[in-house]
Amino acid sequence: MTNANPNRPPPAPREISREAWNRLTDFQRRVYRTVCRIPAGQTRSYRWVAERLGRPAAARAVGQALHRNPFAPLVPCHRVIRSDGSLGGFAGGVAKKRRLLEAERPRCFLSLRPRKQTAGAPMPGLEEPLAVIHMGSSKPMGAAPPASWQATCRT
């Protein structure tokens, strides 16, 4: 992240008072601004945040700054995970981190229908989807659809 004046700390998110923001170290402010740019429903690693700060060896320091985050969930530290894909730590507990990530996860609905016949016409009577599967569910989906079916995803 670059500022017009490198000696000036990054500005606070609108929802956080300037007074509270100014009590943080420069490193914490930079970490929190970087984390605020992670879109909802996505995650990044501690290493990714450290690299964006220009300090690729500072992944542990990023983790410590996020552990001390007084502005959660405004500063969405739950979106930062380990490089191996595991959740890592969370001041509110890993179960809470998992719930926050699940709540933000995009939902996908698959419409399954047989593929069109070689002549290009749909199979008679099957113009509507044969099944709709909610991918956001934690329930097992069962067997995969036959390869002759097509799936379209909509959110």
Give dist(CA 47, CA 31) in Å, integer.
11
CA-to-CA distance for 104 and 40, rounded, in angstroms? 6
Separation CA 24–CA 28 (nearest Å): 6
CA 134 to CA 139: how far, in whole Å? Answer: 9
Residues 46 and 77 sit within 8 Å (Cβ to Cβ): no
Is 77 a catalytic site residue? yes
The catalytic position among 36, 77, 108, 153 is 77
Q: How far apart are CA 34 and CA 100, in angstroms?
A: 19
Q: Which residues are known catalytic residues?
A: 77
